[in-house]
Amino acid sequence: MIGLISATAAGAAARDRLAAAWPERTRVYEGPVKDAVRRAFAECEQLVCFLATGAVVRLLAPLLADKAADPGVVCVDEGGRFAVSLVGGHGGGANELAREVGDLLGAEPVVTTATDAVGLPGLDMLGFPVEGDVAGVSRAMLDGAAVALKAEVAWPLPPLRAGAEGAYTIRLTDRLVEPAEREVVLRPPSLVVGVGASKGAPADEVLGLIERTLADAGLSPASLAELATVDAKAGEPGIVEAAARLGVPLVTHSAEELAAVEVPNPSDAPLTAVGTPSVAEAAALVRGGELLVPKRKSERADGRPAMATCAVVRRPGRGRLAVVGLGPGARDLLTPRAKAELERASVLVGLDQYVDQIRDLLRPGTRILESGLGAEEERARTAVAEARKGQAVALIGSGDAGVYAMASPALAEASDDIDVIGVPGVTAALAAAAILGAPLGHDHVSISLSDLHTPWEVIERRVRAAAEADIVVTFYNPRSRGRDWQLPKALAILAEHREPTTPVGVVRNASRPDESARLTALGALDPATVDMMTVVTVGNTATRDIAGRMVTPRGYRWQEAASTSGSAAGPRQGDGR
């Protein structure tokens, strides 16, 4: 919960905007400010104070105890110009909260945490349990000192400005080790414990077995990702409570799935009871991995038969490939999700001119693999190969990466051994449409006129189908120096079904500094004025030039109503669907 505190009318107005936007996340604290801050500090995970930073510092000083437990605090000034991350930037989430508040209120987020300020990921913000000299190793990274990354487990990480050797060390391991001097130990969630249990098995017996097994194998419980068992045991109280006390999810699988897993120690007992010859080993191995500890039984002090079994598997981290659409070019049309993926990637793959657009958004240490025009398939193969090495990879494309861009060749190369995340972007067609007016208000289609990958006969058939179906058409790749006849041919096909006065929008370099746009007609467009940086949108029979804007009505009923009423202003307002 986020506590909201204000002292003035202006602060209350901004406070109420947050409360209205985040009704489930926030709680307004009224009354004297000192009392409100004290109550919110005790009751909330985060605070937003619409007060001067000096005042908040004095109010918080006697309340601060431990940065690992204190709430994150953000201050917003009286004018609503700045959202300052004051306390708990990492541990309390104040840095991210300052950005969220800034986005909502139009304030500039102020983050002074050293790693955030220079674009380095905080070691305590990677989503893993972390132990050791976090401050010392972070300072070494900031100072440019040699820091070694020792990854005993393959796991996708953001760029950490670390190499093979160094006086400081970042160790990625699931082993039960104590951090050495000048060392940080990161605990990836790499361990899966498969669990079997008889009906009524006590939680203490299940939990004790798991803890002893991990300790005897020299494995850290901080790297435990999940407990796994058979569906029939999904509600077994001892297993359910053990997972809750360990703070990990309980994942279940069908007996059929588990019976298909080859294990070293099958047994008739679980086959009879739940329909699979193995529960513990099979549940741990069903999603792949290395069996570190074969089936092990619990031990009971009274000498009675064991009621629980477990096995431990290490699952390597899956490589991560984010296919990122950069939008049409303008920085403010690059989505926040795309920015986050660019910051997360340790490897960036892309066309050199696209890399130049976003180079400043990359974290220090990001490995950049760039190439020139015409190497799309090579870039796709490179990105997938890097992800298969366990890297966090971003493959970039302009507009939306799934529209005439890199998503298709990348997914054609990728198999199910890596995670693939698609990040949508604003397409050239949408950017051009917004400049032209509303040409895509009804059914529309995008067609590339490049016959580099598609035979012209196929392209022509698609253009003809769109023409006959009276669909608005956006042409990508309309004309180049060596390919100058396709656009005239496509326009001629459309002209067989549409009047010469049909509106046509021509937008070059949409959203970029040298953007240009004009509205012409099908019979008047000179193809020689179009190049590869241009998007051409041809209206349907209902598209109109209204006040210099290209508009396609949302429905033919509205079009008829407008013509009947004689109104040139267009149809009535719709229902918002």
Q: CATH number of the domain that 369 lies in?
A: 3.40.1010.10
Residue 110: pLDDT band by 50, 70, 90 thresholds?
A: confident
Assigned domain for 571 exists? no
Least confident of 122-131, 362-371, 554-563: 554-563
Q: Give the C-alpha separation, 439 to 430, whole Å.
A: 10
Over 50: is that where the pLDDT of 570 sits? no
| Contacts of residue 360, Cβ cutoff 8 Å, sequence gap at least 6 | none
Q: What is the pLDDT of residues 213-259, one digit of tens each?
A: 999 999 999 999 999 999 999 999 999 999 999 999 999 999 999 99
Has residue 573 got a pLDDT over 80? no
pLDDT at 396 over 90: yes
Do 549 and 510 lie in one domain? The reply is yes
Residue type present at position 295? K
Mean of the per-residue pLDDT values of the chain: 89
Q: What is the pLDDT of residue 405?
A: 87
Of 537, 555, 458, the C-alpha closest to 498 is 537
Q: What is the pLDDT of residue 154?
A: 82
| Residue 283: CATH number of its domain | 3.30.420.180
CA 20 to mean position of chain CA atoms: 26
| 541 belongs to a structural domain | yes
Give the rounded percent of residues in the chain with a pLDDT score beyond 70. Answer: 95
Question: Does residue 564 form part of some domain?
Answer: no
Per residue in 290-312, pLDDT (tens digit) is 999 999 999 887 778 889 999 99
Residues 35 and 101 placed together within one structural domain of the fold: yes
| 434 and 539 housed in the same domain | yes
CATH number at residue 436: 3.30.950.10
Asked whether residue 198 falls in the same domain as residue 260, the answer is yes
**Span 13-34, mean pLDDT?**
90
pLDDT for the residue numbered 568: 41
Rounded to an integer, the average pLDDT of 9-37 is 89
At residue 564, φ and ψ (nearest 5 deg) are -65, -40
Q: 572 pLDDT exceeds 80?
A: no
Give kind and range of the element (H or E) at residue 142: helix 134-143
Q: What is the mean pLDDT of residues 14-34?
A: 90
Residue 569 confidence (pLDDT): 40
φ/ψ of residue 327, rounded to 5: 85, -175
Farthest-apart Cα atoms in the chain, separation: 95
pLDDT > 80? residue 32:
yes
pLDDT at 372: 86
Say if residue 561's pLDDT is above 70: no
* Claim to verify: residue 202 and residue 309 sit in the same structural domain: yes
Does residue 123 lie in a domain region? no
Q: 10 Å Cβ neighbour count for 117?
A: 11
Residue range of the domain that includes 278: 191-314
In a shared domain, residues 468 and 418? no
Judge whether residue 165 has pLDDT over 60: yes
Of the candidates 286, 314, 342, which is a domain's last residue? 314
Please give the pLDDT value at position 576. 40
- Say whether both 386 and 416 belong to one domain: yes
Q: What own/partner pairs with CB < 8 Å and gap ≥ 24 does 120-127 have?
A: 120/160, 120/161, 120/363, 120/364, 120/365, 121/158, 121/159, 121/160, 121/343, 121/363, 122/90, 123/160, 123/170, 123/184, 123/186, 124/90, 124/91, 125/90, 126/157, 126/158, 126/186
Decide: 153 and 168 in contact? Cβ < 8 Å: no
Residue 157 has pLDDT above 70, yes or no: yes
Whether residues 244 and 349 share a domain: the answer is no
Q: Domain boundary residue among 409, 426, 443? A: 426
**Distance from C-alpha of 54 to C-alpha of 56, rounded to nearest angstrom:** 5
Tell me what pLDDT residue 489 has.
Answer: 96
| Inside any domain, residue 303 | yes
In a domain, 18, yes or no: yes
| Confidence (pLDDT) at 537 | 97
Query: Please, which pLDDT band fits residue 94 given cuts at 50, 70 and 90?
Result: confident
* pLDDT at residue 464 tops 60: yes
Q: What pLDDT sits at residue 571?
A: 37
pLDDT at residue 488, rounded to an integer: 95
Q: 494: helix, coil or strand?
A: helix
Confidence of residue 577 (pLDDT cuts 50, 70, 90): very low
> Are 336 and 382 part of one and the same domain?
yes
Residue 55 has pLDDT above 60, yes or no: yes
Q: What is d(CA 570, CA 558) in angstroms, rounded to the nearest whole number?
A: 8
Answer yes or no: is pLDDT of 574 > 70.
Answer: no
Do 537 and 435 reside in the same domain of the chain? yes
Query: How many structural domains compose the chain?
Result: 5
In this structure, of 102-116, 477-491, 537-551, the range with the lowest mean pLDDT score is: 102-116
Please tell me whether residues 404 and 440 are part of one structural domain.
Answer: no
Q: Is residue 29 part of a domain?
A: yes
419: Cβ contacts below 8 Å, ≥ 6 apart: 318, 319, 320, 321, 387
Same domain, 36 and 78: yes
Q: Give tens-digit pLDDT for 398-416.
A: 999 999 889 999 999 898 8
Predicted confidence band of residue 481 (pLDDT cuts 50, 70, 90):
confident
pLDDT of res. 549 = 95
The answer to whether residue 565 is domain-embedded is no
Instruction: State the Cα–Cα distance between residues 81 and 186, nearest whole angstrom.
Output: 37
pLDDT in the model for residue 416: 86
Which domain CATH number covers 77? 3.40.50.11220
Q: Once rounded to an integer, what is the mean pLDDT over residues 3-7?
A: 90
Cβ neighbours of 110 (radius 10 Å): 18
For the segment 24-33, the average pLDDT, to the nearest whole number, is 90
